[in-house]
Amino acid sequence: MCADEKSRTKEPSEPSVRAWAMQLGLPVLGIGVGLAMTGYVNFWLGIAIAALAVVVLLLDLWRLVRNGSFLKKGMAFSIGIICVGLITWIAFRPVPLGASFALGPGNYPENSEIGGIKWEKGFSDVRLILSNDTKLDFGNIDLTVKTNQFIAKIGSMDAFSQCKSAPIDQMHVTILSLDITDASGKKQTILGTPAAAKSFRVHCDVLLSGDDIHLVIALLNVNAFKNGQRPDTLFAPPENARWAMVDATYDAAGRTREEIHSTCFGSKESCGDIGEEDKNFGPVFKSSIP
């Protein structure tokens, strides 16, 4: 009878290694499947599956060690912290895209090629440098570039990345030929200038680890409309941009990311609200000035 009482009051034995493996195998598999999905199927769906599997893992660990030794409880707690930390790091780790603007010289010889752009009189110059200082390659770099002036063309000086650009907004101008008056009062004619716009879209296929993409932005200085009337001289002499901004999306570390960068080249007052649409130009207009 005493032996029976001892057997009934005996503490339950701690689970064996085999029991641990059988109990934790499914949630560990779920974590692995979820993490694999982040790079090949859907990033956030994979993160959700992995996070759910971590919750199941923590519950199973608690059932296994709640009557166990302090050491095993500590090990279970450490495993949970590592899993939660890993999922959080994969989901939210920073993978920054560096972006900086600079004013270029702009006074290049006519018909010289700068970043694939055949330079014309009347152009001014802004540079956008995108940099990748991480250990990962970036893909599908999609940019929306804006300045206070009209953008005529955007070219690239990078040897590895293939970049294409096009105007995207509804406030643009198409010029077949135009006259400008320089600072000395001398009139000059520019022929064959393509469509220009206040914002351009640029798409680059890849930005390799440790590499830069150097974009050349050719600008045109358009005289503002007054009371809805076109000015006598559509284009003014070249002038440096007051501000420039870029809204960038790119694929890195399994998901699409977005960053916005802007630069004011003068005083804060001269830049005003960066990115605000200029109300002086009104709707789309086309011009063919003899």
Residue 132: what pLDDT?
95
The angle, 0 to 180 degrees and rounded to 10, between the axes of the packed helices 17-40 and 70-92 is 0
Residue 165: what pLDDT?
92
**How does pLDDT run across 178-187, given as a tens digit for each residue?**
556 666 777 6
Domains of the chain: 15-92 (no CATH), 98-266+276-287 (2.60.40)
Judged against a pLDDT cut of 60, whether residue 2 lies above it is answered with: no
Q: Give the closest residue to 259 by CA, choosing from 144, 150, 134, 103.
A: 144
Judged against a pLDDT cut of 60, whether residue 172 lies above it is answered with: no
Q: How confident is the model at residue 259 (pLDDT cuts 50, 70, 90)?
A: very high
Give ∠ CA 19-16-28 in degrees, rounded to 5.
40
**Which two structure tokens, joined as six digits, stand for 24?**
């934790």
Q: 130, 202 in Cβ contact below 8 A?
A: no
Q: Which residue has the tokens 């920054």?
A: 96
Judged against a pLDDT cut of 80, whether residue 16 lies above it is answered with: no
Residue 254: what pLDDT?
85
Question: Which one is predicted more confidently, 263 or 42?
Answer: 263
Residue 247: what pLDDT?
94
State the chain's mean pLDDT as an integer. 78
Q: How confident is the model at residue 174 (pLDDT cuts 50, 70, 90)?
A: low
**Which two structure tokens, joined as six digits, stand for 183?**
């600072």
Residue 231: what pLDDT?
67
Residue 191: what pLDDT?
46
Residue 171: what pLDDT?
52
Question: Which one is predicted more confidently, 79 or 247?
Answer: 247
Question: Which one is predicted more confidently, 200 or 76?
Answer: 200
Q: What percent of the chain has pLDDT over 90?
A: 27
Mean pLDDT to the nearest integer, 203-227: 88
Residue 280: what pLDDT?
43
Residue 73: what pLDDT?
80
Query: CA 125 to CA 217: how far, in whole Å?
Result: 6
Question: Residue 63 has what DSSP assignment?
Answer: H
Q: What is the pTM of this model?
A: 0.69
Residue 98: what pLDDT?
93
**How does pLDDT run across 89-146, given as a tens digit for each residue?**
888 888 999 999 999 888 888 889 988 899 988 899 999 999 999 999 999 999 999 9
**How does pLDDT run across 50-85, given as a tens digit for each residue?**
889 888 888 888 887 777 778 878 888 888 888 888
Residue 20: what pLDDT?
58
By the 10 Å C-beta count (0-12 exposed, 13-18 middle, 19+ buried), 126 is classed as buried
**Which two structure tokens, joined as six digits, stand for 113?**
């090629």
Q: What percent of the chain has pLDDT over 70?
A: 72
Return the number of other C-beta atoms located less than 10 Å from residue 115's C-beta: 20
Q: 94, 255 in Cβ contact below 8 A?
A: no
Judged against a pLDDT cut of 70, whether residue 271 lies above it is answered with: yes
Query: CA 123 to CA 153: how far, in whole Å?
Result: 10
Return the number of other C-beta atoms located less than 10 Å from residue 271's C-beta: 18
Q: How confident is the model at residue 15 (pLDDT cuts 50, 70, 90)?
A: low
Q: How confident is the model at residue 251 (pLDDT cuts 50, 70, 90)?
A: very high
List CB contacts of 250: < 8 A, sequence separation 6 or more.
Answer: 97, 138, 139, 140, 141, 142, 207, 256, 257
